[in-house]
């Protein structure tokens, strides 16, 4: 279905929430509570985002996570790549050869590259802030907390 992993979706939610107070240090449990997402999942998401350098993790008691750059500067591709791997339609990844067993049989080898770059370009222009949009309004936040 050309779908990206659900974790990517969660990541955007979490990042949007972090963007409300970009400078503050926020803990995984805290973010879990405020987003309404299960705590272990949020923890996993943040760990991955930290590895990707999208957020910065500080250890120890009173530790937490912080955006490593403002929300509008975080490109959607960064998040997608972190969870779904390199953006490449089809199993034969990019120029990597040797993996495909029937390499010499495959007449379209490498031909997907223009498609991939087209998609990459399209996603490159979108920032996480654009996906967050009005979802950050306090009104919705209250609504969501009340629903618990």
Partner DNA sequence: GGAAATGGGACTGGTTTGGTCCTATTTAAG
Partner DNA sequence: CTTAAATAGGACCAAACCAGTCCCATTTCC
Site residues (vs DNA, CB under 7 A): 1, 5-7, 10, 27-30, 38, 40-41, 43-44, 46-47, 50-51, 57-65, 83-84
Q: How far is the CB of 147 from DNA (least distance, A)?
A: 18
Task: Provide the 3-class DSSP secondary structure of residue 88.
Answer: coil
Q: How far is the CB of 113 from DNA (least distance, A)?
A: 20
Contact between 3 and a second copy by CB under 8 A: the answer reads yes
How far is residue 46's CA from residue 57's CA, in Å, rounded to a whole number?
Answer: 8
Which residues from 79-108 bind a second copy, rule CB under 8 A? 80, 84-92, 102, 104-108
> Within 21-127, where are the H helices?
28-35, 39-51, 76-84, 113-124
Task: Provide the 3-class DSSP secondary structure of residue 25.
Answer: coil
């Amino acid at each position: 279905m050309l779908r990206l992993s659900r974790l990517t979706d969660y990541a955007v939610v979490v990042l949007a929430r972090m963007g409300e107070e970009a400078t503050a240090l926020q803990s995984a449990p805290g973010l879990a509570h405020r987003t309404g997402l299960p705590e272990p999942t949020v923890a996993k998401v943040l760990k991955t985002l930290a590895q990707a350098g999208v957020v910065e993790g500080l250890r120890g008691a009173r530790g937490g996570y912080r955006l490593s750059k403002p929300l509008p500067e975080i490109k959607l591709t960064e998040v997608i790549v972190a969870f779904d791997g390199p953006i490449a339609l089809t199993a034969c990844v990019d120029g990597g050869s040797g993996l495909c067993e029937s390499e010499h049989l495959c007449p379209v080898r490498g031909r997907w590259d223009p498609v991939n770059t087209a998609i990459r370009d399209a996603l490159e222009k979108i920032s996480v802030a654009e996906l967050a949009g009005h979802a950050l309004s306090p009104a919705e936040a209250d609504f969501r907390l009340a629903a618990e």
